[in-house]
Amino acid sequence: MGESTAAARNAPWWLTDPGRWAAEKAALRAAGATVRRLPGTSNPTTGVMQVSVGWPEVGRRLRLRVTFPPEYPWFPPEVTTDDTSIRRHHNPKSGALCLLADPDAMWHPGTLLADLLTAQLPRLLAANELPLVDAAALEHHEAEGARTFVGTGQPVSLLVDPDHSSLPTQTTSGWVHVGLHGPYDNLMIAVGRIADESGMCVAGQDWGPPFGQHQWLPWLRLDRSLTSADTPARLWDHARTTLPDMARKDGIVLLRFRDEIGYRTDGWAWLAIYGGTAPTWILAEPAGPRTWAARIPEYTHLARAHIVLIGTGSLGATIATALACAGLGELTLVDGDRVRAATICRQTPLSTTGLPKTAAVAHACYDHQPGIVIHEVRAQIGAVGEAHDLAATIPASDLVIDAAANPALSRWLATTCEPDTDLITAAGTWGAWGGSIVTYPTRGGGCWACLELHRADHTLPWPPASPEPAATDGCSAPTFPGAHHDLADLAHHAVRVAATRLTGDTATWADVTTLSLRTPDGQRIPPTWSADDLPVHPACRRPHRDSLLTPAQSA
Amino acid sequence: MPDEEPTTAAHTEATQPDASPAPHAADDGRPPGPATEAVHGHPADTDDASNPGTPASPEPADALVPTGVRRIERTVHRRTTIEDVDETVVEDVPLTWAPPASAYPKPVG
């Protein structure tokens, strides 16, 4: 980059593009507005410019302060006002107006400030003035709670499950049992059981893992909404005065206050105040199974399901955490290995080295979904002397996923799951060049032995596999070359198939899904999937159930 | 009979009416498949460690007869030049029957 180009890029936008600033002024004046650069606010070093705009409204002139960012016009300007008659879509702390629901996505660099105000300001004002039924057509249906406008900038979060927030009206203060979790330089405080001043629990439910520590903190009800006059110090003084025996001088007090908790819906919200010489506050974030499920509504049925996952290596760990993310209710993890530092390139992280793999994966699952019920079976299935009760666990589950990459185990599982428990077998190939996912009972009626016979005949496709020798370390068991992100393609599809299967849908996915990430000679290709049903092989001597497909589907 | 060979129990069960060897089973009474495939040049069921390069001594024909079978009835549709015939075939299939091994890629995960 030449020096002149770099200098031009560092110059403020109104100098590099003077025509744009001229166009902005002309458009504002054409719209009947007044515009004036605020003295001392056009800083060439920061690239920020501020202007005062008098915007014509019916019967008045609305005073606006507009701040253009240094990257203008690629990003939109911020428009603020001190006009307190505007209550919705107006940040009470900063004064910013929400002219665009998603400013960066909805802003176009060809838009002038005057265009933005002409198009959006009347809508914003109307949403403030019209009855709800009319205003609802003009705005996004999002709650504008206090949390929307107040941020602490600190790595501390207060979590509240909205399903646990109903309290008896006569209970105005007491104790709350919070869960604490802070694996890094952050801290999460989760509101659990809530008790009155006598210590009797009146609502709520404690958070399980990963919240490893719990503590009782005092809480107090504030029978009003927050106002712009409220500050952490003021609320802290109020709490200390109201609860002199409960609130420690440098402790934490939780406040329950009125707020908009849903679109134009009033309710109770929480905030925590850190005391001490300079009190600060953290407004609660709603979080819990229902909150998460609302973001992935297709998968709410997983909350009632129990999956047994055998093998928690690269495929299994990815499958487990994806299932936890998607809201699975209960998971049995089966693996007899421990995490080795040598394999963290495709499994759980270094911090889990030495743990049983099931425990390492369980921690990751809890982190993705507090509340998931996890059972660990730390056993190598099929090895002499390994105690487990899988043959009894499997019939009580809804689905089994075999990610152990062990043909002997796959055959045993397929037989053990027959005839009533669904089974998904996921396996990659050497080098993670591809892999396959097989689902039983099959649509085509074939069994695991039919699969092997069809593969032997090549009547089912073979995924590509690297011919490279194994990557070994010392004289221990050889491992394989292959990246986590390649196997993750396979793992995530296994989760898709499992989630579909748990709805009772046996028609969407074919019996055998084969993934190719390479050509047979090793050239990389975009992930390519083939789908085949698994019919009964004529040479198979095992018993077979009827096809899951209806005659119409078979046709 | 503390010294009784464990295969006797299998033999006793296999001789029950519903537990007879499957018609397709090999002549020596063993089910086909990997469980009886040769490993390292000698049959998997040998215990003759002193002479690993030679086949194992013959064992009783029923030594590896599976202890569980499943009866299958299936209808086979035959089309001849004269007529179409639905014929019911009944087979007793050992639960441990397995197809022969193939060169399908080793799974990883």
Q: Is A410 part of the contact surface with chain B (CB cutoff 8 Å)?
A: yes
Looking at chain A, which residue has its C-alpha nearest residue B70? A543
Nearest alpha-carbon partner for A270 in A280, A285, A260: A285
User: Please, what are the domains in chain A?
Assistant: 2-140 (3.10.110.10), 147-292 (no CATH), 297-554 (3.40.50.720)
CA dihedral A408, A414, A416, A418 (to 10 degrees): -160
Task: Kindly list the distances between the CA atom of residue A86 and the CA atoms of A38, A99, A122, A128, in Å, as whole numbers in the listed order.
Answer: 23, 13, 12, 6
pLDDT at A2: 58
Q: Is A404 part of the contact surface with chain B (CB cutoff 8 Å)?
A: yes
- CB–CB of A427 and B109 under 8 A? yes
Looking at chain A, which residue has its C-alpha nearest residue B33? A449
Nearest alpha-carbon partner for A151 in A286, A268, A284, A250: A284
- CB–CB of A449 and B99 under 8 A? yes
Q: Report d(CA B3, CA A282) in Å as an integer.
A: 76
Q: How confident is the model at residue B16 (pLDDT cuts 50, 70, 90)?
A: very low
pLDDT at A533: 97
DSSP state of A299: G
Of A405, A465, A542, the CB nearest to B109: A405
Q: Report d(CA A270, CA A262) in Å as an integer.
A: 14
- CB–CB of A428 and B97 under 8 A? no
pLDDT at A552: 63
Instruction: State phi, psi for B24 to the nearest 5 degrees.
Output: -85, -10
Token duo for residue A297: 């509504």
Q: Report d(CA A325, CA A92) in Å as an integer.
A: 35
Q: Return per-residue pLDDT of chain A as tens, 555 residues.
A: 556 666 666 789 999 999 999 999 999 999 999 999 988 888 888 899 999 999 998 888 999 999 999 999 999 999 999 998 998 999 988 999 999 888 888 899 999 999 999 999 999 999 998 888 788 888 888 888 888 887 767 788 999 998 876 899 999 999 999 999 998 889 999 999 999 999 999 999 999 999 999 999 999 999 999 988 899 999 999 999 999 989 888 899 999 999 998 898 999 999 999 998 899 999 999 999 999 999 999 999 999 999 999 999 999 999 999 999 999 999 999 999 999 998 899 999 999 999 999 999 999 999 999 999 999 999 999 998 888 899 899 999 999 999 999 999 999 999 999 888 999 999 999 999 999 999 999 999 999 999 999 999 999 999 999 987 766 665 556 678 899 999 999 999 999 999 999 999 999 999 999 999 999 999 999 999 999 999 999 999 888 876 555 556 555
Q: How does DSSP assign A410-422, residue by residue? A: HHHHHHHHTTTSE
Q: How does DSSP assign A203-225, residue by residue? A: E-----TT--EEEEEEEEEEEEE
H or E segment at B94? Answer: strand B84-94
CB neighbourhood size of B44 (10 A):
13
- Contact residues for A433 (Cβ-Cβ < 8 A; gap 6+): A463, A464, A465, A466, A482, A486, A516, A517, A518, A522
Of A432, A456, A541, the CB nearest to B102: A456
Cβ contacts of A543 on chain B, cutoff 8 Å: 70, 72, 93
- CB–CB of B107 and A428 under 8 A? yes
Of B72, B102, B108, the CB nearest to A482: B108
Q: Give the minimum alpha-carbon distance from A476 to chain B in angstroms, rounded to a whole number.
A: 17
Q: Is A484 part of the contact surface with chain B (CB cutoff 8 Å)?
A: no
Looking at chain B, which residue has its C-alpha nearest residue A410? B107
- Contact residues for A227 (Cβ-Cβ < 8 A; gap 6+): A92
- CB–CB of A426 and B24 under 8 A? no
Partner A, chain B 59-98, Cβ-Cβ below 8 Å = 70, 72, 91, 93-95, 97-98
A219 vs B22: which has the higher pLDDT:
A219
Cβ contacts of B91 on chain A, cutoff 8 Å: 541
Of A314, A411, A537, the CB nearest to B98: A411
Looking at chain A, which residue has its C-alpha nearest residue B73? A543
CB neighbourhood size of A337 (10 A):
16
- CB–CB of A456 and B99 under 8 A? yes
Cβ contacts of B100 on chain A, cutoff 8 Å: 456
Considering chain B, what percentage of its residues have pLDDT values greater than 90? 9
Helix, coil or strand: residue A261 = strand
pLDDT at B56: 45
Burial (0-12, 13-18, 19+ Cβ within 10 Å), B39 = exposed
**In this predicted model, what pLDDT tens digit does every residue of B47-83 receive, in sequence order?**
444 444 444 444 444 444 445 676 667 777 777 777 8
pLDDT at A131: 84
Of B94, B95, B108, the CB nearest to A405: B108
ipTM of the complex: 0.74
